[in-house]
Structures are given as C-alpha cells and as structure tokens.
Amino acid sequence: MFDNELLKQVSEKARLWLREGYDPQTQALVQTMLDNDDKTELVESFYKDLEFGTGGLRGIMGAGSNRMNIYTVGSATQGLANYLKENFKDLEQIKVVVGHDVRNNSRLFAETVANIFSANGIKVYLFEGPRPTPEVSYAIRLLGCQSGVNITASHNPKEYNGYKAYWDDGAQVVSPHDVNIIDHVNRINDVREIKFDGNPDLIEMIGENIDAQYIEQIHTLSLSPEVDRRQHDLKIVYTPIHGTGRYMVPRSIERWGFDNIIHVPEQDVMSGDFPTVDSPNPENASAMAMAIKKAEEVQADVVLASDPDADRIGVVIKNTKGEYALVNGNQIVMIFLYYLMARNKELGTLTGNEYIVKTIVTTETIRKIADKLGIKMYDCFTGFKWIATVMRENEGKARYLGGGEESYGFLPEDFVRDKDSVSSIPLMCEIAAWAKEKNMTLNDILIDIYKTYGYSKELGISVIRPGKSGADEIAQMMVNFRENPQKEIANSPVTRIKDFLLLEEKDVVTGKVTKLQMPATSNVLQYYTADGTKVSIRPSGTEPKIKFYIEVHDTLADAKDYDAKNDWADAKLARIARDLGIQ
C-alpha cells in the first residue's frame, strides 16, 4: 500500500505527461496507469525522475519519468548538447559519435539522440547498425569528437535499456564534466525544450570504415603472433549471447590467425529479446550453458562469450577434473595481467616505465604479481571511467599494459577507453595458445599463478532490492555497516576499515586514521582482517542492488592440492556470507 501523499504526488506528475508535447501512445499508457486501481506501476514509473548519474541513464523501458523512453533520453541529450555548446563554444564544429546495441528500442533511442544533437547544430557520426560499446569509444578518439553516446544496458535483462555518455578522450565522463552535465540535464523542465526535429545534413552514417581500422589496430596488441599461427586450429567456442559481438568478435579472432571458431548458432541471432537466456550475462552459468554443451561436443580448448554490447567477456575452461567450468571475473583479469606482464618480460620489453590498473574490489593477488615483476599498479574505483582516468593521467608518461575489474571487464589497449571484449577475446585465445605451446592449459596457468604468488578466491553476492522501498533498504544497509562495523570475520579480527565515502582508512588496532588518496568519494566500505580476508560493500550505481565482494587468501604449495584448497575457500566464503547476513 502507498500513502496518500505519495499517490497525490505521482498522480500530479503523471498528468503532466498528458499535456502537449507527448505522443498519443505514451499518453494512453500513462492514462491507463492513472485509471488502474492497482497503483504499483504508476508509483514505480513516476515516484522519481530516472536520474542522469555519472554513468548516464539505465532503467526499465516504458512510459514515465522513471523509465527509459524517448523523453528521458531526449532530456538527457538536450542537457548534454547544451553543455557541449557551452564547453566547446570556440570550436567551429562540435562533433559526437552515437552508437547502440541490439536491445529493443536501441535504434529508436539512438536515432532520437542523433536528431537532437543535429537539431542543436552538432555534427553526428551515427553507426549504421549495432556496434560494440568499445568501438564507440574508439570512434570518438579516431574522429576527433568532443563527446559520444551509446545506447545500451550492457548485460541487464531485456526489460532494461541505458544511455552512456562519453567525453573527448573516449572515456565515460568524470569530474567536473559529469556534475556539469547532470546540472544541465536537470535544467530541462519542459519536454518542449527538447529539439526533436533533426538536421539530416549534420548526420553521417559510419560503419565498415571504422570497423576495419578498429580490427587492424586491435591486432597490433598480439605479443605472440608466431604462436597464434602455429596454434591456428585451437578449438574456440564463441557466443555473442545474441549481442553486438556477433560480427566483430569472430572477425577479430580470425585476424589474430585463429581459424577454428565454433559457433552456437541459436545465440548468433541478434535479438533484444535474448530468446535462449533469462539474462544475457556471461558471468552466469545459465547464459553459458549452450556454449558449454557445444564445447563438450567438440572438446574445445576454450569457451568465450561477450555480453550484448560486447564490452564484457565470459570465459570457460576445463578444470582439473576435466569439466568445463566458469572462470570468475577476478581470475580473468588476473590471467590477462599475468600474461601481459610475464610475456613482456619474456620478450625483454619491460623498461621499468610500465603500469597496470585494477579496481579496489578486484583481487589483491594482482598486486603481488606486479610487485614481484617490478611493475607499478594503480587501484581505482569500480568502473572503467576510473581506469580511463588513470590512463589519461599517464598518457605520454608511462606505458599502459592493461587494466580490468572483477565484473568481467578488461582493456588491453590504450586506443580505447572502455572495457573491450573485441580485443580481450582474441588475447585470451593467444594466452590459451601460449599455454598450449608450453604443454599447459589455461587451468594450469591459473594454478601456477596461485603457487607462485599465493592462493586467493573470491565470491560476489548481489542483494537485489527493486523500487523505492528497495532503494531505501539499501541505503539503510550501508548506514548499518558504517555505524556498526564488523569486529571479526570468520573468527579473524578486523584490522583495517576503509571508508571511501569519507576517504578515511582506520587502523582498528591503533585507532589511527589516515586519508585515502582518491580522485573523488564513493559509497564503498571495506573490511580487512588479520588473515588477509577482504570484504567490500557497495551499492550498484546502475542497478537496484547492493554488492558484496568477499576475498580470502592462503598458500598453495602443490598443484595436487588445488581442488582441496578450492573446497576450503568455498566453505570459508559461505561462512563469511552467513556472518554478514546475506546468504
């Protein structure tokens, strides 16, 4: 049940959508909500405005101020256009790139964005069809644009869509531009302020001309081309899970010299309905089930996937029992960074001026690898815009080797500034080939890392709380964890607490508080224990959930103990989850 004041507010807000400026179909949907005795949909659609946050927009599609539709997309674009015209007023011609994924309404939203930009006198390069998110980032840099927009909700369920805003370096916007854009978007108070009528003369279609350059530049990342040629028949199962990777990823793999790509035909169908999966997320076993079945049939060397906008990567390898098993996001990033660092060392190309980047919730084992190889490692907030920030600060000063986060995103190149499966997937194929040349598998590489640098295992748990009541509950959970911090975790005392909202680190033993050196604040809380356990807690910035990241550490003396160590870690991770009250 909803209180009368809330119902009054949402009803008044909804009636504004019945006035001039809104199309008849939208008005009919809003009127139906108003007339319905059950006001749940009305409240969820209008209780707030779909917030243009630092990452753009993301939400369920439908009519209403809290939904993804041409009006919320239009308001965001008009605000962004106004800011671009103010920020780049001395430029003769402001230019932007607009792209989109395969989701329902993505083309409609992309064309809406292009029309609004062009109506504001801004030159638009509009991709002719669905393209990977990283290719939009690439095109912004290649074409010398000031901004860009990609319409995508990444790996979210089919009901969602989203809007990602980029700046002139090809990265998602950060301070001060993020808050300035939000301010300009919030100034749009009337739908009639949005210039929907586009100028066709300012809209240019792009496609193959960008595709070809992108693929060629990605191929320059190969560190073992001779290995790729020798292992050209490596058995690779790949699925785009109905997404934009369908054409670009196989093309990229083939350019690296691998010619034995085994498809999952049902999932090669590009569709916003994602008909073979409940959720098109390659970190979920259910989304990978068809690819794993195909791998079992052909006895593949590696199974690879990309999500709908082809920025995230999923990996499945054979474990010690000969079963195909998912590699978690931490392990994926660790394998990539280990290879890039170790292979550069093999080639004698390390000069002492290289660096890697990971996020604060990604495994600490990566730090141990970098320290041992003498390579600088940066820790940054979750989200590739922060990895891109580190890259921007080091541009022309140090060589970027790679960066990634536990949420299945990796970037091995510096000519793109967002996570990229189009480059990461052929690189993982190369790592599998490199391992095969050493009579090893990817699983062997993983175990070798643990033996050399210490064992770790991670568990990510998302507690989903949709709607207004869910948002309130998530906020209260964060308050509780701050005001009543854990004293011990799995019988190990908490020794340090990092609060990135306050930018403070507290030594629990001595009581000493030091400032954390970060570029901004973030609603993240971390506990560290005496036995090396790390627990990170943060609300999602794009989905109605609060995320828990748990990491445990130990040693691994012998490869034959690997399965037993995994069992030990699973038990400990489960206990920690219970202690936190989330499982």
> Is pLDDT of 467 > 90?
no
Pick the CATH number of 456-579 from 3.40.1710, 3.40.140, 3.30.310, 3.10.530: 3.30.310
Q: Out of 149-153, 173-177, 548-552, which region has the weakest mean confidence (pLDDT)?
A: 173-177
Q: Choose among 426, 126, 409, 414: nearest CA to 304.
A: 426
Pick the CATH number of 48-204 from 3.40.50.300, 3.40.120.10, 3.20.10.10, 1.10.3720.10: 3.40.120.10
pLDDT at residue 272 in the model? 97
HSE on the CB side for 371, CA within 13 Å?
8
> Is pLDDT of 55 > 80?
no
pLDDT tens, residue by residue, 101-136:
999 999 999 999 999 999 999 999 999 999 999 999
| Residue 185, C-beta contacts closer than 8 angstroms, at least 6 positions apart | 52, 75, 76, 78, 79, 80
Helix axes 421-437, 208-219, angle to 10 degrees: 30
Peptide bond just before 519 cis, omega within 30 deg:
no
Of 230 and 471, more confident:
230
Per-residue pLDDT, averaged over 283-296, amounts to 96
pLDDT tens, residue by residue, 218-256:
999 999 999 999 999 999 999 999 999 999 999 999 999
Cα–Cα dist 41/30, whole Å: 10
Per-residue pLDDT, averaged over 261-269, amounts to 98
The type of residue at 355 is: Y
Helix H, strand E, coil C: the string for 217-238 is HHHCCCCCHHHHHHCCCCCEEE
Confidence of residue 542 (pLDDT cuts 50, 70, 90): low
pLDDT at residue 544 in the model? 80
Q: Choose among 270, 194, 272, 206: nearest CA to 239.
A: 270
> Is pLDDT of 2 > 80?
no
User: Catalytic residue numbers?
Assistant: 154
Q: State in words which class domain 214-453 has.
A: alpha beta
pLDDT at residue 494 in the model? 97
Cα–Cα dist 272/549, whole Å: 30
Q: Which residue ranges make up each domain of the chain?
A: 48-204, 214-453, 456-579
Same CATH fold assignment for domains 48-204 and 214-453: yes
CA 240, 462, 450, 377 torsion-angle sign: positive
Cα–Cα dist 456/494, whole Å: 18
Please name the helix (run of DSSP H) or strand (run of DSSP E) that holds residue 513, with its range, or none. Answer: strand 513-515
pLDDT at residue 481 in the model? 94
Helix H, strand E, coil C: the string for 154-197 is CCCCCCEEEEEEEECCCCECCCCHHHHHHHHHHCCCCHHHCCCC
Cα–Cα dist 375/341, whole Å: 8
Please name the helix (run of DSSP H) or strand (run of DSSP E) that holds residue 344, with its range, or none. Answer: helix 329-347
> Is pLDDT of 54 > 90?
no
Judged by DSSP in three states, 560 sits in: helix
